Structure 1
């Protein structure tokens, strides 16, 4: 086996001479020298005491497979060698500091503890250095470049600007300590005033300081030229613990520089193409390289499979670090050119999901597979059916919280799986594996959670309206009015009314509210701040109720300051949003303990109380009563018109801002009961049969996705069954189709207390206002 490294001790003077000549240089991926004045003084003190300062690691150049653009160490002005014999992988900060202070011959450009720029020279206080009771770090003095130490009044306290002044002050300049000739001349000047008296001092100083510098040897590990690039990069990161972790972007920048290609300049130009989008403010260059590598490795795999009968040995699709480091410049140029314009389409897609800024991205890392997928799909990525599948995959990743850990493997799966799914294959693993536990809502309290930010976006996507202005929250409203997530029941109110902080701070008790409205809410009870909004903004209670419903808030519970009823209703609505977005059922506990206010033994009573409260309030823009769902009470027969009336109400609520439909209640509030419909249900003449009929009708007419966004519950009042159907605001236009007959799909909305059909331009204008893109 070839030996990959050697180790020995090198004289400090030889190491610094190598740097001075250019025989030792830095790979271009090394970050700049950053040590401050205190670090330099402490390092010099350690060398003067022969203390270990750690090993340096170098790489012998000459391997054509390991090409990095070199650069001189800081302070090396004119090297005699253009091409280095060695590259310094570890020990840059120490080596550069020693070179600047001891070998460069110039003042050291450094910084103070507050990061203010300064230039310094370093001296050894001879008397302090030979005093065994003095701290050596205090004996190494950092002096301004002009040699003048001034007090706060600007008066000179110490002058070391000339050789004579240095000798008089007995301050030895360390920038000559490795130059025996210069040191000897300084010694002669030092001894001249009184050779007899000063010789002992100089001898002690030479033994204590000068000899340790001249004799100091630096442990050196040399990687041989046979070391592969991946190992070089890995070794560099393992040993470079003193700085920020090196990125693959910096490594590739150095690699491509050897081919006269400036990766950083190329990235800056590409970033300028999408720099206007605040959503991509924090999209890093390393993520872009992962996108490019995914596409390049997918293309390489596809070409291999096309050329071979079996794909068992085909190269993998991947964007792991080693694969990014292997990215050829030609592959980068090809796929970067393909991916760059797609980023603006990614932004449009996310804006459609009501994600407007980098701060609101549930997972910034999900931009990598999303961009790669949309690049691979090309123009197909914008067709309606494909967008629907992209949405499902995206939200399964968010609400399944799939991107919180190591993600490179999932990125590769996503690219292959989603494209194959769109081409008719199986569901992607991200969709299959996604799960959301209902009780997770109780722990979503801050933006640290992707699911928290996801629900925030879902609320805006469903047409959440500004409390104060009533305008649908779009990009302009979001920015101009400083929209953010705030409490619905204020925290102070919750604390005063015995609501635990954990419950009050959950996402269930929060929604999108602009800054001005939030100040108006303050700590008041909902009943008080709603009245305040109505008074100050001239908003009618009916209109404010529709605004509240657009946020999936039960207006009656809120106006009654009934936290438990409010919380239970909204808890269910948020779960419905997740189910509709992911296309998957939420996992719930069997005993109803997910929601602290809806235990199983109280569920029936809660529903009954809620229905009585709705009946007492009467019909409105957000509430409608239907005596039956299928039976015409006048004729006593099943009537498709009655079924279609229920369908219209549900669709109208969806396309407006949500609402509640009670079936089994007459217009005047009298209880009729859905039992009137039971005779038309075949063998299942009960509530289960009625529930199945309604679910099937909604799915057939409105689509399965829309049907999942409807919540149904039942209660017995006056010995008759009333169905409560809670309808959420839809995330996109919903069209209703009669289950029988020749009726075409129609677009229905809620206008005041009735449901109306909109046609042509009127429907188009309404949809643009209701769902701004």
Structure 2
């Protein structure tokens, strides 16, 4: 019978903290280190002292499907590491660690100031202020230095001395480290303030005990307990929902904790250490230009890498099922989603990791071949995963001309079909399964067969973040576009050495003066790759003027023959005669046709030129263009 896999019960705070101390309640090893600052700790103490709610905790009972490597809360005694925990704290680490350190551990607390300076603090409750209804309770919580002395005048004057219990008694400052064990402290307090004349002082403490200290003793925390039948995916979803206060948890962290339970350090594989360059660093350095911080695959994430491995693992499981005679829906799916990552065995990871890493390195070479050099110019980060997996699968076969041509065609169909923008997990898996057989004469992969590029799409490509926009830029360079000034083609060396970027052909300033809207002049039709210096020469003048300037030359740039300059323009799919006539409308019409032909050649498919408009309203205009349009309109 189906039922809930969790229950919610209140637990005594003191009992929970004791469980942390003894190691019965621990943290999963992927939990971040304790980072709460001094002010947040004070606020937490104040809330407990007034029995205000501080939020529920969430725990996971061990012994089921999820096997994470545990670690004690920070500050727990060494022997806690030797205890097999009953449950792990999934949500509430910061609160529980803070409360454990300040109330039960009995040692100075290492924390940070709001300005992120490391400090050591003991925490006290000012008894008089805590009982004063006109004083905010947080003002009654005091943090003092490690020597328990607060000084002023650059350390020359002692403002508050609590280094001995007698100082605490005298100043009526109660140590938070004693909130669960006040008997011995009260004995010392009563001795200090003994005698009938001091009865009023002793009564102050008795009231404080009833109104404040007993709130700690009887405080109960709601705990959502996930039982041992909870799935790995459910745990991952839980973290995504509840862990909103800091770095989001992803599948890599969960897999790291599961592999750690088997003795493997997945985090070391990825991030490395002092003696070992991790996979992430190797990806950052792959084809990295000398003057750049990162190469083209630097942003491949750890989950991207695991996703590629999971494609191989789930495909092998499917093949095993086929060999066992299973068919149709009996066959397991080839997938690379979160569930697949969480179910990836350590053995499978070790089996495929080198092969997949090589695939990503080959993907970097493939992208450079297409003149995609910078992460900023990469059409789709997500398409690197199937590309790397396919290259890892087919090995050196991608270097054969026929195979390479098909791979290039598949890649551009993904870009200009704009198929890798969202919800890509199923497409990644399909491409991994469909592209290799296609290279051997099989049917077209769905990414190729499903791509439709509309001829009017070129007019709406204005955003630098658009994959198709970036694709046109790369195609122009791949087809041999030459810089207007130098005549150099944009290979790897020229691209970085000359600071090449995409620039307007009819300059923005000129378009603005004529009242042409940004929605028109910012189109990719009016843009092309040029070096920084060439774009500076173009400036904001009409094309006929900057072309004449290039032909004439100056003391830094030699003159360019008209025929040569026309050849440079043609390499950008620009009709020289139309550009020299400064006819913007004719230029846009002509170049749109030429760029469309370029895309059709790359995808191997005829663009749609029908009358049925694309659904939706185009909002692809960046803020700079939007502001310009408002100025022109006004």
Q: 1:180: which partner in 2?
A: 182
- Does the 8 Å CA contact 1:24/1:84 hold for their aligned counterparts? yes
Q: 1:74: which partner in 2?
A: 74
Aligned-residue offset at 1:274: 3.8
Q: 2:426: which partner in 1?
A: 409
Deviation string 1:46-86 (CA, Å, 9 cap, x unpaired) is 111101111212222233x4321111112224234432222
Which stretch shows the higher mean deviation, 343-352 or 418-427? 418-427
Q: 1:447: which partner in 2?
A: 464
- Structure 1 residues 591, 210: CA separation in 2 closer, same or farther (over 3 Å shift)? closer
- Taking the aligned partners of 2:461 and 2:474, their CA distance within structure 1 comes to 14
Which stretch shows the higher mean deviation, 377-386 or 147-156? 147-156
- Structure 1 residues 116, 478: CA separation in 2 closer, same or farther (over 3 Å shift)? farther
Q: 2:218: which partner in 1?
A: 215
- Taking the aligned partners of 2:438 and 2:527, their CA distance within structure 1 comes to 36
- Structure 1 residues 201, 348: CA separation in 2 closer, same or farther (over 3 Å shift)? same
- Structure 1 residues 115, 570: CA separation in 2 closer, same or farther (over 3 Å shift)? farther
Q: 2:534: which partner in 1?
A: 517
Aligned-residue offset at 1:182: 4.7
Aligned-residue offset at 1:241: 3.2
Q: 1:541: which partner in 2?
A: 562
Q: 2:290: which partner in 1?
A: none
Q: Is 2:319 the partner of 1:319?
A: no
1:569-718 alignment to 2 at 5 Å? 569-590=590-611
Aligned-residue offset at 1:8: 2.2
Q: 1:83: which partner in 2?
A: 84
SS in structure 2 opposite 1:426? coil
- Structure 1 residues 127, 317: CA separation in 2 closer, same or farther (over 3 Å shift)? same
Q: 1:162: which partner in 2?
A: 163
Q: Is 2:263 the partner of 1:246?
A: no
- Does the 8 Å CA contact 1:25/1:73 hold for their aligned counterparts? yes
Q: 2:289: which partner in 1?
A: none
Q: Provide TM-score, normalisation by structure 1.
A: 0.73
- Does the 8 Å CA contact 1:129/1:208 hold for their aligned counterparts? no
Q: 1:754: which partner in 2?
A: none
- Does the 8 Å CA contact 2:152/2:159 hold for their aligned counterparts? no
- Structure 1 residues 20, 182: CA separation in 2 closer, same or farther (over 3 Å shift)? farther
Aligned mate of 2:208, from 183, 205, 209: 205
- Structure 1 residues 590, 7: CA separation in 2 closer, same or farther (over 3 Å shift)? closer
- Taking the aligned partners of 2:190 and 2:561, their CA distance within structure 1 comes to 97
- Does the 8 Å CA contact 1:280/1:358 hold for their aligned counterparts? yes
Aligned-residue offset at 1:105: 2.1
Q: 2:627: which partner in 1?
A: none
Q: 1:95: which partner in 2?
A: 96
Aligned mate of 2:260, from 246, 251, 257: 257
Aligned-residue offset at 1:257: 0.9
- Does the 8 Å CA contact 2:236/2:250 hold for their aligned counterparts? no
Q: 1:485: which partner in 2?
A: 502
Aligned mate of 1:507, from 524, 540, 544: 524
- Taking the aligned partners of 1:13 and 1:592, their CA distance within structure 2 comes to 66
SS in structure 2 opposite 1:141? strand
- Does the 8 Å CA contact 1:177/1:183 hold for their aligned counterparts? no
Q: Is 2:364 the partner of 1:347?
A: yes
1:270-281 alignment to 2 at 5 Å? 270-277=279-286, 278-281=295-298
- Structure 1 residues 98, 190: CA separation in 2 closer, same or farther (over 3 Å shift)? farther
- Does the 8 Å CA contact 1:148/1:156 hold for their aligned counterparts? no
Deviation string 1:466-509 (CA, Å, 9 cap, x unpaired) is 23322111111111222111222221211111111221222122
Aligned-residue offset at 1:391: 1.0
Which stretch shows the higher mean deviation, 522-531 or 215-224? 522-531
- Taking the aligned partners of 1:94 and 1:394, their CA distance within structure 2 comes to 49
Q: 1:707: which partner in 2?
A: none
- Structure 1 residues 252, 350: CA separation in 2 closer, same or farther (over 3 Å shift)? same
- Taking the aligned partners of 1:368 and 1:156, their CA distance within structure 2 comes to 64
SS in structure 2 opposite 1:279? coil
Aligned-residue offset at 1:217: 1.0
Deviation string 1:408-455 (CA, Å, 9 cap, x unpaired) is 111111111112222322211111211122222222222221111111
SS in structure 1 opposite 2:356? helix
Q: 2:632: which partner in 1?
A: none
Aligned-residue offset at 1:168: 4.0
Aligned-residue offset at 1:383: 1.3
Greater C-alpha Rg: 1
Aligned-residue offset at 1:353: 0.7
Q: Is 2:579 the partner of 1:558?
A: yes
SS in structure 2 opposite 1:15? helix
SS in structure 2 opposite 1:529? helix
Q: Provide TM-score, normalisation by structure 2.
A: 0.88
Which stretch shows the higher mean deviation, 407-416 or 174-183? 174-183
- Structure 1 residues 116, 462: CA separation in 2 closer, same or farther (over 3 Å shift)? farther
Aligned mate of 2:439, from 409, 412, 422: 422
Aligned-residue offset at 1:549: 1.8
SS in structure 2 opposite 1:280? coil
Q: Which has the higher contact order (CA 8 A, sep 6+)?
A: 2
Paired residues, number: 593
- Taking the aligned partners of 2:112 and 2:548, their CA distance within structure 1 comes to 59
- Taking the aligned partners of 1:403 and 1:114, their CA distance within structure 2 comes to 42
Q: 1:397: which partner in 2?
A: 414
- Does the 8 Å CA contact 1:123/1:172 hold for their aligned counterparts? yes
Q: 1:291: which partner in 2?
A: 308
Q: 1:761: which partner in 2?
A: none
Gap runs ≥5 in structure 1: 594-773
- Does the 8 Å CA contact 2:149/2:161 hold for their aligned counterparts? yes
SS in structure 2 opposite 1:579? helix
Gap runs ≥5 in structure 2: 272-277, 287-294, 615-634
- Structure 1 residues 344, 591: CA separation in 2 closer, same or farther (over 3 Å shift)? closer
- Structure 1 residues 170, 509: CA separation in 2 closer, same or farther (over 3 Å shift)? farther
- Does the 8 Å CA contact 1:176/1:182 hold for their aligned counterparts? no
- Taking the aligned partners of 1:561 and 1:306, their CA distance within structure 2 comes to 67
- Does the 8 Å CA contact 2:190/2:202 hold for their aligned counterparts? no
Deviation string 1:238-290 (CA, Å, 9 cap, x unpaired) is 33333333111111111111111111122343344444220011111100000
- Structure 1 residues 444, 199: CA separation in 2 closer, same or farther (over 3 Å shift)? same
Q: Is 2:309 the partner of 1:300?
A: no
Aligned-residue offset at 1:545: 2.0
